[in-house]
Amino acid sequence: MNYTWAHCISEGDAASEIGGGYQNPTSRRAERGNCVVDIRHLFNASVVAITPGFQSMGWMGAILRNWQTSAIITKRSGFWFSAASGRDNSLTGINADRPDVIADSHVENQSLDRWFNTAAFRANATGTFGNSGRNNLEGPGAFTFDVALLRRFSMTERFKLETRAEAFNVLNHPVFNNPRNSIIDANFGRILSSNDPRIMQFAMKVIF
């Protein structure tokens, strides 16, 4: 098991090999904020269990031996993102404007339909840059539980057959994406998508 508490601060998020997306290219300091991959809290746990030999149990031991199960459990806080004006009000041609903040964006009871207070933002005035900070909104956290079960069968002294069943997000717990962030979007502040649901797969391979 491991737990990581971290805070990543930067003046731009990587776009290919260089930073990009500055609303004002002449003021990098104004872009100082949370990294888009800033995960404040991250917990991981993994376990592997193997059945013993059961040599004295005859046919029952032959069924029970050589099984292996493993699991990975992950819980993390959310990724950070910025509110966006959605229009080039600054007239720079970059189209990376952020709005002005006019109130507290936090809400008491976050929901998929209202992840933050959308009334806290308004469009930046024409010819100006918004005062909203970069990546100052936190998206939803996540919890995932992956599990695998495998067994190896000895075919000959040289060849072994491995069968393996795996389930990713076995509890089918939703892992939501960040909400819509543009103030001109009719769904501004709402979460409309998520990552993959439970995925199961089965595989066999010969080891020699």
Please enumerate in sequence order all residues whose Cβ is within 8 A of that of 94, keeping only pairs 6 or more positions apart, or say none. 22, 23, 25, 88
pLDDT of residue 34: 95
pLDDT of residue 193: 96
pLDDT of residue 15: 62
Q: What is the pLDDT of residues 91-129, one digit of tens each?
A: 999 899 999 999 999 999 999 999 999 999 999 999 999
Token match 């109130």: residue? 103
- The span from the CA of 89 to the CA of 183, in Å, is 13
Please enumerate in sequence order all residues whose Cβ is within 8 A of that of 180, keeping only pairs 6 or more positions apart, or say none. 187, 188, 189, 190, 191, 192
CA distances from 140 to 38, 54, 61, 171 (A): 13, 46, 46, 18
pLDDT of residue 109: 93
Which residue numbers in the chain have pLDDT < 50?
none
CB of 167 within 8 A of CB of 149?
no
- The span from the CA of 178 to the CA of 141, in Å, is 9
> Which amino acid, residue 63?
I
Please enumerate in sequence order all residues whose Cβ is within 8 A of that of 143, keeping only pairs 6 or more positions apart, or say none. 74, 75, 173, 175
Q: How many domains does the chain have?
A: 1
What's this model's pTM, rounded to 2 decimal places?
0.83
pLDDT of residue 183: 97
- The span from the CA of 15 to the CA of 107, in Å, is 31
Supply the range of the domain harboring residue 57: 2-207
- The span from the CA of 145 to the CA of 45, in Å, is 10
